[in-house]
């Protein structure tokens, strides 16, 4: 049904909505905080310094003038995590010190 271009967007939107409902449900069951984050522009914003680095979709590596070099998807994931933590009161937004994605108090980053 997704191949039908008239219905594809609606079907995909419904699927993502159901996925989000399940995530929120299991977050409550396992007493974890779930936060919806708008992922727009997260792959072009540097997770290290915040500078906007324009790139085409085919560019898979994020390279910033501040010296930050990483996979484009990892950069976006760090920005999404930072935005999510910012909405629940965490003020630390450093990409290396934001804790873990499970909502636990302890960080998986060893010092």
Per residue in 42-60, pLDDT (tens digit) is 999 999 999 999 999 999 9
Domain that holds residue 88: 35-111
Task: Please indicate, yes or no, whether residues 29 and 64 belong to a single structural domain of this protein.
Answer: no
pLDDT for 92: 58
Total number of domains constituting the chain: 2
State pLDDT tens for residues 77-103. 999 999 999 988 876 545 444 444 444
Task: Please indicate, yes or no, whether residues 11 and 56 belong to a single structural domain of this protein.
Answer: no
Task: Please indicate, yes or no, whether residues 6 and 53 belong to a single structural domain of this protein.
Answer: no
- Cα dihedral 72, 39, 96, 88, rounded to 10, equals 180
Contact 73, 43 (CB under 8 A): yes
Task: Please indicate, yes or no, whether residues 18 and 49 belong to a single structural domain of this protein.
Answer: no
pTM greater than 0.75: no
φ/ψ bin of 41: left (φ > 0), alpha (ψ from -120 to 50), beta (otherwise): left
Task: Please indicate, yes or no, whether residues 59 and 11 belong to a single structural domain of this protein.
Answer: no
Higher-confidence position of 88 and 104: 88
């Amino acid at each position: 049904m997704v191949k039908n271009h008239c219905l594809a967007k609606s079907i995909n939107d419904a699927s993502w909505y159901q996925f989000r409902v399940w995530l929120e449900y299991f977050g409550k069951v396992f007493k974890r905080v779930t936060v919806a984050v708008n992922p727009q522009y997260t792959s072009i914003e540097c997770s290290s310094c915040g500078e906007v680095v324009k790139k085409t979709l085919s560019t898979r590596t994020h390279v910033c003038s501040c010296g930050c070099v990483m996979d484009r998807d990892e950069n976006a994931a760090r920005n999404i995590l930072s935005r999510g933590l910012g909405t629940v009161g965490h003020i630390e937004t450093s990409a290396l010190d934001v804790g873990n994605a499970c909502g636990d108090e302890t960080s998986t980053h060893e010092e």
